[in-house]
Structure 1
Amino acid sequence: MHTLIFSISFSVAVSIFLKLARSRDIRVDQAIAVNYATATALCLWLLSPPLDTLFDQSPEVWMILGLLGVLLPSVFLIMAAAVRRAGIVRSDTAQRLSLILPLLAAFLVFHEAASGRKLLGIALALCALACLLARPRTAGDGAAPAGEAATRPDDETRGASRGWLTLLGVWAGYGCIDILFKQMARIGAGFTGRLLLSFILAGLLMGLWLAFRRTRWHGRSLAAGMLLGGLNFGNIYFYIRAHQTFPENPTLVFAAMNIGVISIGTLVGAGVFRERLSTLNMAGIGLALGAIVLLFPR
């Protein structure tokens, strides 16, 4: 259980970092690039993967690594675009609703046995998600900044279309990453080498993207990226470990991670950032705890 707790804690820390980044003049794309370089260094230092057999991977593993190499950095960029075009609330909702994809994969792809207890736990998890995501709609949610010129109907239509496409990308991207990490955990021995390769591929792709844009590097963002790399490394490492600890119960890991992160994130938002919690949000935290208890193996 400690692997899940550590992974949830690191994931919440990553969310707090990203929340504070914009107000601290941190350029998120540069921090993301350095994050993967830092995660690569930590993987080499702490896990000591066998470098002599690093590239001796099966075609299935290379397919997984290739997809992760593309998705890990891309989903950060898609999320940033979704926030700009569809608003923070809708983007966060799309990310959390991605839980549906790995839950379906647990039964359809990983052939987890369905029981009444698990199905009830999943139902509670989805109800908890709905309660935790419930927020009063504000006047500025998803709207253009004050003082901006009104857009023409055609521009609004195209903007709305792009906004929904980015939300779909967030939903599918985060869900697919969860499934791919589960598949990586299932393959067995040598996962430290595969973890290292996923960081290297993601870092290379992000670096090439920044080079293509002729990015002017920003010292504070580079330093912040080192912190983000440490947090992200801990999140992914313990997430894979959690799947290895509960190999026959992927729904527990999928649900506990998503519901745990948003529950603790909700409490942190209320305690640290003075975000208002409704009675429905508090009920969602209670439902989340009940869901995890039901999904936890006896």
Structure 2
Amino acid sequence: MLYVFLSICCSVIVSILLKLARRYSIDISQAITWNYSMAILLTWLFFKPQFQNLQAAPIGIYTAVGLLLPLVFWIMASSVRVAGIVRTDVAQRLSLFIPLLASFLVFGEALTPLKIAGIIVGFAAILCSIPWQKKTANRKVISNAWMYLVVVFFGFGAIDILFKKVAAFREIPYTTSLFFIYSLAFIIALTGLLIRVFNRKARIVWPHIMFGLILGVANFGNILFYLRAHKALASNPSAVFSAMNIGVITVGTLVGVFVFNERLSLVNKIGIGLAIVAIILITLSQH
């Protein structure tokens, strides 16, 4: 379970870095751009992508994921800033219900009582985790924080569905697909950055680049260790799945509450508990 633990740590570190970005006046869209340049380099070094059968590559899916990744990442950064690490991590982890619903509605997978229960509890957790109330008492009023959480939920759900399609495409190794997806995400993000620089709305400076590269190491580490955990525990993938999602929610909650002093209402705390129950139910339903 060491790889699971390391993957959890990297995932939470990404949220911490996004939280710290505003404190140190980091241009987060620029940092996200350089994050993908580091992801490309590390994918090349660790996964040694193969370039056979590229004519069969699902370019449409690659492009869709490459576009969504920087966009949803940027929205996630905004969500961490206005809604906090705890709620954002819950929304991201519960996004697994989007591909789960798609498997029933689109791919015709059979529903089971455990899956139905998991979906119901999961959506209850989402409703409880959203900060419906406005922030007061010396805290900036942010009435639309729930919108960021909803976009994070559906955005990561859509990305998860697309990645499942990529994984199902056997002609090209999954890690090679990752290399191309990261490359497209970097090109798209860099194009947006250069347009901002040309219009004098941004300036490329070294601190933003360094922050982005560090963010890229943590982001890639999350994927690297998650894949290695599945390889090490190939006979029990559900354990990796549940431990990863529950671990991120738990560790993210501890960091958010005790390090960044994020305040959670009783309803929010119930939502975190329901999220963990929902993930357990979905994990059990896989057997």
**TM-based fold match above 0.5:** yes
CA–CA separation in structure 1 for the residues paired with 2:260 and 2:77: 21
Q: 2:193 aligns with which of 203, 206, 210?
A: 210
Structure 1 letter corresponding to 2:186: G
**Aligned residue pair count:** 272
Q: Which residue of 2 aligns with 1:102?
A: 99
**Does the 8 Å contact 2:131/2:146 carry over to 1?**
no
Q: 1:126 to 1:164 in 2, by over 3 A?
A: closer
CA–CA separation in structure 2 for the residues paired with 1:111 and 1:7: 32
TM-score (norm 2): 0.76
Question: Which stretch has the larger CA shift, 19-28 or 258-267?
Answer: 258-267
Tell me the C-alpha RMSD between the 2 structures.
Answer: 3.8
CA–CA separation in structure 2 for the residues paired with 1:164 and 1:281: 12
Shift of 1:35: 0.5
Q: Which runs of 5 or more structure 2 residues have no equivalent in the other structure?
A: none
Q: Which residue of 2 aligns with 1:126?
A: 123
Q: Which residue of 2 aligns with 1:56?
A: 54
**Does the 8 Å contact 2:32/2:74 carry over to 1?**
no
**Does the 8 Å contact 2:125/2:274 carry over to 1?**
yes
Shift of 1:130: 2.8
Structure 2 letter corresponding to 1:283: I
**Does the 8 Å contact 2:90/2:275 carry over to 1?**
no
Matches within 5 A, 1:158-169: none
CA–CA separation in structure 1 for the residues paired with 2:256 and 2:151: 25
Q: 1:198 aligns with which of 181, 184, 199?
A: 181
**Does the 8 Å contact 1:128/1:287 carry over to 2?**
yes
**Does the 8 Å contact 2:70/2:185 carry over to 1?**
yes
**Does the 8 Å contact 1:121/1:295 carry over to 2?**
yes
Deviation per CA, 1:104-156, whole angstroms, max 9, x where unpaired? Answer: 2132234433211121122222223333335653133226xxxxxxxxxxxxx
**Does the 8 Å contact 1:132/1:262 carry over to 2?**
no
Query: Residue 204 of structure 1 aligns to a residue in which SS?
Result: helix
CA–CA separation in structure 1 for the residues paired with 2:229 and 2:110: 19
Shift of 1:94: 11
Q: Which residue of 1 aligns with 2:24?
A: 24
Matches within 5 A, 1:2-151: 6-50=6-50, 52-53=51-52, 56-58=54-56, 61-78=58-75, 88=83, 92=88, 96=92, 98=95, 100-134=97-131, 136-139=133-136, 140-142=140-142
Q: Which residue of 1 aligns with 2:279?
A: 292
Question: Which stretch has the larger CA shift, 37-46 or 108-117?
Answer: 108-117
Q: 1:127 to 1:167 in 2, by over 3 A?
A: closer
Shift of 1:44: 0.6
**Does the 8 Å contact 1:132/1:263 carry over to 2?**
no
Deviation per CA, 1:204-246, whole angstroms, max 9, x where unpaired? Answer: 1111111112242121111111111111113345567789989
**Does the 8 Å contact 1:79/1:166 carry over to 2?**
yes
CA–CA separation in structure 2 for the residues paired with 1:4 and 1:102: 22
Matches within 5 A, 1:239-258: none
Q: 1:79 to 1:280 in 2, by over 3 A?
A: closer
Shift of 1:23: 0.2
Shift of 1:99: 5.0
